[in-house]
Structure 1
Amino acid sequence: MKQFIKTQSLFSLLFLLTFFSAAASNPAGSDKSLKEALEGKFYIGTAVNSWLINGGDAKSLEIVKKHFNSIVAENCMKSENIHPEEGKFHFKQPDKIVEFGEANNMFIVGHTLIWHSQAPKWFFIDKDGNDVSRDVLIERMRFHISEVVGRYKGRVHGWDVVNEAINDDGSYRESKFYQIIGEDYVELAFKFAAEADPNTELYYNDYGMANPGRRAGVIKMVEKLQAKGIKIDGIGMQGHLNLESLSVDEVEKSIVAFSKTGLPVLITEFDLTILPWPTNRSQTADIAMRAEYEQRMNPYADGFTKEALTEWSDKCTELFRMFLKHHDKISRVTTWGVTDNHSWKNNWPIPGRTDYPLLFDRNYQPKPVVQTIIEEASKY
């Protein structure tokens, strides 16, 4: 009898050791995905590109399927790619992205219809290389938007209609659209998009949206559109952030201020870099910016240090905790890429740097902050 009890006790001890060992290696909730944890709060999305959708990285695609319930086209829907020559459209790659989103029951976002950057030159010039007239550019805008949005009517659930139209001081960026048409090009773009698909959501999207001047300028523009009865369904705050200049308080102020327009806020293009900023120029996401490579500007070429990861994780946690606090105002948070190894931040604004700005690392593993977000989500 004593031997039986001793055997049972040993069995129980082994069971408990096995249980707690498994619990330590697989903490509660660790099998839960981001999209499951954030259900009822906001969509969690990511940008995907043609290379990924065409099978370039199967492991990243599995992460997308498991953790995200929204996708946005990173590049192939930008006008220089989808409409490189007048009347000639390249729909093959955008079609594949839309089909992938549909197959995985995702909220699909098109990016972007009207943007001064990555626009084909023919938009703005005639056969002699001179600027076209206001009427010609308006018609080219209308045709482009109607063809692209119309093709995906009822399939793409939201569009970044106009991208980066406002400067840091709140004035309009003097792009070719602004120079030739005037500030009402924004209004016209939203009108054309609504005509092409009355049921899709239409967004304004910009970087530096925690900047008080740009914040005020965007609100003024949005309220003007609303006063005219123009359909606009959300304000996109690009989340290209850097620890050197990030103020979570200012980001929060913008979320609250934008929500007072009555529109939901979207955190778009999220990536958080810890790398040093190369110039005295204020933080920006202007893709035209370039700086020369210097070794001191690439401090983590051989890997993220434990201290750097801790600093990054703490700030990322602070941001997502704030997003969750305001989940009633936010309808989507989208990361600009899936894993660190494919982030555009590795080459911008300094080509050849090694950056670590996303939620999943180069080994396709979730960073500790992913589990933290999952746990934090249960509190809201």
Structure 2
Amino acid sequence: MKFINLYLLAVTTILFVNCSSKQEVTTLKDAYKNDFYIGTALSADQIEEKNIKVDSLIQKEFNAITAENIMKSMFTHPQKDKYDFALSDKFVAYGEKNKMFIHGHTLIWHSQLAPWMEKIADSTEMKAFMKDHITTIVSKYKGRIKSWDVVNEALNEDGTLRKSVFLNTLGEQYLVDAFKLAEKADPKAELYYNDYNIEEPAKRAGAIALIKKIKEAGGKVDGVGIQGHWRLQSPSLEEIEKSILEYSALGIKVAFTELDITVLPNPWDLKGADVNQNFEGSAKMNPYPKTLPDSVQTQLAARYASIFKLFLKHKDKISRVTFWGVYDKQSWLNDWPIKGRTNYPLPFDVNLEHKPAYDSILKLKKTVE
């Protein structure tokens, strides 16, 4: 009898261990916890935790955060001798409280500059600005913000350098200087070059050349951020995969930093995220003002599934996948490139409910060991 009882105990223990080693996952961050960070971009209201339901969703589903706007220079450095870190401090504190990976966005970008920055025309003044701006911000959050978009969107579509106020005053050297200053301010932070459409061949070649030049000149580049403002049919999975492989071959990490998928008509064949492009609206350009048809929901779900399947194939090269917004209502695509349209680009709908797109991403990782 004693032997039988011991046998039954052993069998029960084995069954328990086997059952507990496989468990059904119910959130994105848990499903992909052994693969890469799952992140989202937070608005000012979300940073200030103004909506309990939204806050609950953020904490449940994501383990990495980026500030959608409040760390851009027009907000953090509104005047030459004045910084405003009120919301940035709350953003970092939010990430720390919830044990999230915190990403800084962005240090040097031609857009959303404070007006006084746009007037800098002298190279000496620009160098002084860059040194003060980067050193002050990165040093303030040293050891707390784990990675930075050091330079954002420095390239044209053909891969040449964008004629920004930084290029006009300092030439290509500003790229090297930016990364060197960021490394000096926090040697342990991961430093990224971030841009849209850099999975397209010409722009990808330009980004690769840019990163090589920075590294050869002594700048530290730890990774590249592919924004991922994509469409239902493009870019192709082949081009995305080529990009992962070619950037990884540089010895750097690959992150997908601003992922969303537009489902609306695009007669101008716009790609990426040039926030300065705007067009007149019409009913034809806003075909789903109230709800997204099931047929399009299915297409969106299939697109997300195929993308994440590719990400999983190359998970050893990918550090983070961040959605650009928590849910559809928040998305910047409701206003770009036509104001007032209703878009549906994210895995959560306007009511914070799972969409088929969410289910398709989760289904790829239904069980974890």
TM-score of the superposition, structure 1-length normalised? Answer: 0.88
Secondary structure of the 2:48 match is helix
Q: Which of these residues, 341, 344, 349, is aligned with residue 356 of structure 1?
A: 344
Matches of 2:127 and 2:84, distance apart in 1: 21
Q: Which of these residues, 92, 95, 120, is aligned with residue 98 of structure 1?
A: 92
Aligned-partner residue type, residue 50 of structure 2: G
Partner in structure 1 of residue 57 of structure 2: 63
Q: Name structure 2 gaps, 5 residues minimum.
A: 1-21
Cα distance per residue 1:312-363 (max 9 Å; x no partner):
1111111111111110110100000001011111111100000100111112
Q: State whether residues 297 and 356 of structure 2, in contact with CA within 8 Å, keep that contact through their aligned partners in structure 1.
A: no
Partner in structure 1 of residue 247 of structure 2: 258
Deviates more, 1:164-173 or 1:223-232: 223-232
Change in CA separation of 1:350 and 1:278 when aligned onto 2, cut-off 3 Å: farther
Displacement of 1:368:
2.4
Matches of 1:242 and 1:316, distance apart in 2: 10
Partner in structure 1 of residue 335 of structure 2: 347
Change in CA separation of 1:51 and 1:278 when aligned onto 2, cut-off 3 Å: farther
Secondary structure of the 1:55 match is coil
Partner in structure 1 of residue 298 of structure 2: 310
Matches of 1:101 and 1:269, distance apart in 2: 18
Q: State whether residues 323 and 346 of structure 2, in contact with CA within 8 Å, keep that contact through their aligned partners in structure 1.
A: yes
Matches of 2:31 and 2:303, distance apart in 1: 20
Partner in structure 1 of residue 162 of structure 2: 173
Displacement of 1:225:
1.8
1:80-159 matched pairs, under 5 angstroms:
80-125=74-119, 131-159=120-148
Q: State whether residues 124 and 137 of structure 1, in contact with CA within 8 Å, keep that contact through their aligned partners in structure 2.
A: no
Partner in structure 1 of residue 288 of structure 2: 300
TM-score of the superposition, structure 2-length normalised? Answer: 0.91
Displacement of 1:373:
2.2
Partner in structure 1 of residue 319 of structure 2: 331
Off by >4 Å, runs of 4+ in structure 1? 28-31
Q: State whether residues 52 and 58 of structure 1, in contact with CA within 8 Å, keep that contact through their aligned partners in structure 2.
A: no
Displacement of 1:36:
0.9
Partner in structure 2 of residue 33 of structure 1: 27
Matches of 1:245 and 1:371, distance apart in 2: 21
Displacement of 1:30:
6.4
Displacement of 1:68:
0.5
Q: Which of these residues, 62, 71, 81, is aligned with residue 77 of structure 1?
A: 71
Matches of 1:298 and 1:57, distance apart in 2: 28
Q: Which of these residues, 119, 128, 153, is aligned with residue 164 of structure 1?
A: 153
1:2-13 matched pairs, under 5 angstroms:
none
Say which one has the larger Rg: 1
Displacement of 1:29:
6.5
Partner in structure 2 of residue 17 of structure 1: none
Cα distance per residue 1:156-205 (max 9 Å; x no partner):
00110000001111110111110111011111000111111111111000
Q: State whether residues 29 and 374 of structure 1, in contact with CA within 8 Å, keep that contact through their aligned partners in structure 2.
A: no
Matches of 1:322 and 1:219, distance apart in 2: 21
1:291 aligns with 2:279: yes
Matches of 1:121 and 1:184, distance apart in 2: 23
Q: State whether residues 271 and 358 of structure 1, in contact with CA within 8 Å, keep that contact through their aligned partners in structure 2.
A: yes
Cα distance per residue 1:209-265 (max 9 Å; x no partner):
121011001111111222233111110000111225432221111111111101010
Q: State whether residues 301 and 360 of structure 2, in contact with CA within 8 Å, keep that contact through their aligned partners in structure 1.
A: no
Secondary structure of the 1:59 match is helix
Aligned-partner residue type, residue 230 of structure 2: L
1:231 aligns with 2:225: no
Matches of 2:327 and 2:28, distance apart in 1: 15
1:54 aligns with 2:42: no
Matches of 1:190 and 1:367, distance apart in 2: 39
Secondary structure of the 2:71 match is coil
Q: State whether residues 298 and 353 of structure 1, in contact with CA within 8 Å, keep that contact through their aligned partners in structure 2.
A: yes
1:319 aligns with 2:307: yes
Displacement of 1:374:
2.5
Matches of 1:348 and 1:161, distance apart in 2: 25
1:185-224 matched pairs, under 5 angstroms:
185-224=174-213
Matches of 1:254 and 1:123, distance apart in 2: 33
Displacement of 1:132:
2.6
Matches of 1:307 and 1:32, distance apart in 2: 25
Q: Name structure 1 gaps, 5 residues minimum.
A: 1-27, 126-130
Secondary structure of the 2:258 match is strand
Aligned-partner residue type, residue 226 of structure 1: K
Identity of aligned residues (%): 45
Q: State whether residues 298 and 356 of structure 2, in contact with CA within 8 Å, keep that contact through their aligned partners in structure 1.
A: no
Partner in structure 1 of residue 14 of structure 2: none
